[in-house]
Amino acid sequence: MDARPLFYLCSPELLHSYCWGEQCAVYHAESGDTHLLNKFDLAVLQLIDESPASAKDLAVEFEQVFDKGATQYIQILLSNLAELGLIETFESESAR
Amino acid sequence: MKLSSLPRAELRRRLREEGLGLSIGPFNTSLKSHLSVVAEGLEQLYGAFTLTSDTDFIDFRVALNSPPGLRSWFRPQVNFSFDGFVPFKPLPQIQAFAMFEWGLNWVIANNAHQYLIIHAAVVELNGVVCILPGTPGSGKSTLCAALVCKGWRLLSDEMALISTATGDIYPVPRPVSLKNQSIEIIQNYSSDAVMGEVVMDTAKGAVGHMRPPQLSVEQSEQPGAPGLIVFPKYTAGAESCLVSLTQANALLKVAENSFNYSVLGLQGFDVLGDLISKCACYEFSYQSLDEAKEKLESLI
């Protein structure tokens, strides 16, 4: 059994986006802030919206997108998204 | 009936008594003032505007009058009021007409939330509306004045009104505000440019207003369809340079230039997202007005 933080969307119903090509503008209705994300970052947010996930889960999920460095990219991204107030964590006991 | 058809004495009487009702784009505005500088400014620059009738709803009631007391006589000043509320400190009375323009900008930006309002000049050519957002000093009004002197339609030199219901852009083709060297540049650029009185030593330096083209005023009930967003930047000594801007970046930049994006919340984001989806977006540095005009026309 290991305890690891699971990331979840703070308020999924309050997140709205427009995407053009690889870039997306994301509006967070709770804060009134608008953010610029790339399409991959938004896909990570959407995955977290479906079900809370750990950094490790996400790195595995998106492993094929990266030649290498998925874990590092995901960790930095999650830290940035948390800083923007879009996601939060809770500790979960997991047998995986 | 147009303002230019109103006898001078009647114009001044209405300004002093019940208020002069003017149809300015989608807004009916009633203006009261006993100051001759206001009446003269209206005669010079608002001649093509339609007067409201007695039965028309008035959206904004504004007044420009002297503060009470000694300042009526000694270094006279003027106050701008909106529904009796005085939002600004008084200015020297010679600046009364300019204060009407600035005050009306403030009134629209703070009250017309049926529109997403962007701080931008807005012009149209061949049915394509071009939004020119810009911070003060970016040269948007100078470029706007040059374009409308050469046949582009003026929708506004100060604000893009994007309907939250339809996404159309509503015109408010008021006088174009020019500052400092821009006044002479536009006077030299086109003999069609008709300038009102230039007021020196305002907080913005010398300020003059250019009369809006008559055709643009006559078309002020016709909204336009957005097609271009161009962030202009006057750069002395540089060749004109047009750089494509991604739409997501353009959305953020336009939001920064909006008067009421945060007031409208999610509705503002949706209106802006739809607007951006319909537009090609660019950053544009220019020096020569002719080159700038040519470059922009190549995008239409």
How far, in Å, CA of A68 to CA of B265, rounded? 39
How far, in Å, CA of B204 to CA of B137, rounded? 10
DSSP code at position B5: G
Chain centre distance of CA B193: 16
pLDDT, one tens digit per residue, over A20-76 is 999 999 999 989 999 999 999 999 999 999 999 999 999 988 888 777 788 899 999
**Residues B165-194, mean pLDDT to the nearest whole number:** 96
CA dihedral B72→B74→B75→B81, nearest 10 degrees, is -20
CA distances B9 to B78, B81, B137, Å, are: 22, 24, 39
Q: Which residues pair with residue B53 across a beta bridge?
A: none
- The token pair that represents B58 in the structure block: 């008035």
Does A79 reach chain B within 8 Å, measured CB to CB?
A: no
* A-chain residue closest to B271, CA distance: A18
What number of other Cβ atoms are within 10 A of residue B7's Cβ? 8
Query: What pLDDT is recorded for position A53?
Result: 93
**Inter-chain CB proximity B273 and A36 less than 8 Å:** no
Polymer length in residues for chain A: 96
Give the three-state DSSP class for B92.
strand
Share of chain B above pLDDT 90, in %: 91
Above 70 in pLDDT, residue A2?
A: no
pLDDT band at A93 (very low <50, low <70, confident <90, very high): low
pLDDT band at B266 (very low <50, low <70, confident <90, very high): very high
Query: What pLDDT is recorded for position B70?
Result: 63
**Through-space distance between the first and last CA atoms of chain A, rounded to whole angstroms:** 7
pLDDT band at A96 (very low <50, low <70, confident <90, very high): very low
How far, in Å, CA of B133 to CA of B119, rounded? 6
Query: What pLDDT is recorded for position B239?
Result: 84
How far, in Å, CA of B288 to CA of B300, rounded? 19
pLDDT band at B40 (very low <50, low <70, confident <90, very high): very high
- Whether the Cβ atoms of residue B138 and residue B233 lie closer than 8 Å to each other: yes
Does A39 reach chain B within 8 Å, measured CB to CB?
A: no
Across the interface, which of A16, A21, A34 has its CB nearest the CB of B246?
A21
- The token pair that represents B130 in the structure block: 């071009």
pLDDT, one tens digit per residue, over B62-77 is 999 998 876 666 788 9
**Please, what is the average pLDDT of chain B?**
95
Query: What pLDDT is recorded for position A48?
Result: 92
ipTM of the complex: 0.88
Across the interface, which of A16, A23, A24 has its CB nearest the CB of B269?
A16
Above 90 in pLDDT, residue B97?
A: yes
Query: What pLDDT is recorded for position A95?
Result: 39
Query: What pLDDT is recorded for position A63?
Result: 82
pLDDT, one tens digit per residue, over B102-150 is 999 999 999 999 999 999 999 999 999 999 998 888 889 999 999 999 9
Closest approach of B275 to chain A, Cα-based (Å):
11
State chain B's maximal CA–CA distance in angstroms: 57
pLDDT band at A94 (very low <50, low <70, confident <90, very high): low
Q: Which of A34, A1, A2 is nearest to A18 (CA)?
A: A34
**Residues B155-170, mean pLDDT to the nearest whole number:** 98
